[in-house]
Structure 1
Amino acid sequence: MPTGVALRDPRQQLFDAAERVLVRDGVTGLNSRAVTTEAGVAKGVLHRHFADFDAFLTELVLDRIAQVKAHATALRDAAGTGVVADNLTGALMASFDPVMVAIVVLIIARDELRGRLRAAGTARFPLVGEGTAMIAGYLTAERDLGRIAPDADIDTLAPTLIGAAHLLFTEQKDTPPEPAAVRKVVTTVLAGATR
């Protein structure tokens, strides 16, 4: 006779649990036992759905990258509406939540994970690269609409915005920076580029 409760979406349940563990306990506290305990499932559930723990982590990051790509589409679609600095501030506030910051640390800490992500076709610096592409795509759309100067160096502006935002968000241990602080970074970086 089977025991236990059927899981609706075990992969998502495990991803959600891993994110909670990662934010709460950091990279050193993240292991398969911590994830399955947090998810309230047997350890075998993780290995039933993933070849090993690094395969699980790879899929976790790829899931997060898919979210960034969805945000990129929405941000690009917002080109020509609102204020450029406000659109970018909102995108950066949404992108750099505590989970994303923790996942970036995870990617840096695990060589095997970085290798698997690169083999899966991610940016050279997974997640950060996709975030940079999101900002670059939006700035390009705004430049095409004439709201960013035609000679603006988007290949410099986009990583500068991502890097400055990342520093702001990692300096705040338990709370994200205020939107005004993020907006100040955006307006400073874009000074001279907006019209």
Structure 2
Amino acid sequence: MPTGVHIRDARQQLFDAAERVLVRDGAGALTSRAVTAEAGVAKGVLHRYFADFDAFLVELVHDRVARLDAQAAALRGRAGTDTVTGNLTGALIELFDPMAVAIVGLVIFRDELRTRLRAATPASGIPVLTEAGAMIAAYLADEREMGRIAVDADIESLALSLIGAGHLLFAGDSAAPAFAAVEQVVRTVMADVVQRRPL
């Protein structure tokens, strides 16, 4: 791309390009050159907006995490409706789209990115998975308050179990698991606390 040409919303254009490269080619192929080539912009454009490539990746992860806010609100809005198992199954399928799974892989793959993310947000765990766990825990707390799961349900452990099992299901193969497979995992994790709920 010629220099001096104005790029509309260059940051978002670079994020979109990075997502395509990451999902298509994996964390090992995600370089500044690959991103700018995918975006169709000059190599220097990325460094015009970000101090270095890892600073760009930190913002890419934060952008993905910010998208969870809408998912969390929607899930909490479903508390008390349909079934707990159905709501959680849908939430996990929506959560673990190819980009979310790829972001988790990227964070694990790049040491410097993990270091910078920990410095920026001292929460423990892996970004996306940590926020997803909080999202599931908040929903389960709402359902517990409504009496749809047992009053003594260990919300944090259930959320960790669901996120961990969900990640393994979606990260284990190139094809997304069938709805029934996700539902079976959710049903197994939740069986005890759903069956023991007060009548």
TM class by smaller structure:
over 0.9
Q: Which residue type is aligned with residue 144 of structure 2?
A: R
Aligned length: 193
Q: 3-state DSSP class of the match of 2:192? A: coil
Match of 2:10 in 1: 10
TM superposition score normalised by structure 2: 0.92
CA distance in 1, matches of 2:34, 2:123: 28
Q: CA deviation at 1:7?
A: 2.0
Q: CA deviation at 1:68?
A: 1.4
- After superposition, the C-alpha distances for 1:125-157 in whole angstroms (9 at most, x for unaligned) are 211111111111110111011111101111110
Residues 1:25 and 2:25 are matched in the alignment:
yes
- After superposition, the C-alpha distances for 1:74-122 in whole angstroms (9 at most, x for unaligned) are 2112211121111111111111011111110110111111121122226
Q: 5+ residue gaps in structure 1?
A: none
RMSD across aligned C-alpha pairs, in angstroms? 1.4
Q: What is the identity percentage for the equivalent residue pairs of Structure 1 and Structure 2? A: 65
Contact 1:123 1:130 in 2 (8 A): no
Q: 5+ residue gaps in structure 2?
A: none
CA distance in 1, matches of 2:165, 2:4: 47
Q: CA deviation at 1:12?
A: 1.0
- Alignment map for 1:138-177 (pairs within 5 Å): 138-173=139-174, 175-177=175-177
CA distance in 2, matches of 1:7, 1:74: 34
Q: Which residue type is aligned with residue 168 of structure 1?
A: L
Q: 3-state DSSP class of the match of 1:48? A: helix
TM-aligned CA distance change 1:26 to 1:60, over 3 Å: same
Contact 1:157 1:190 in 2 (8 A): yes
CA distance in 1, matches of 2:139, 2:3: 50
TM superposition score normalised by structure 1: 0.94
Q: CA deviation at 1:160?
A: 0.3
Q: CA deviation at 1:4?
A: 6.3
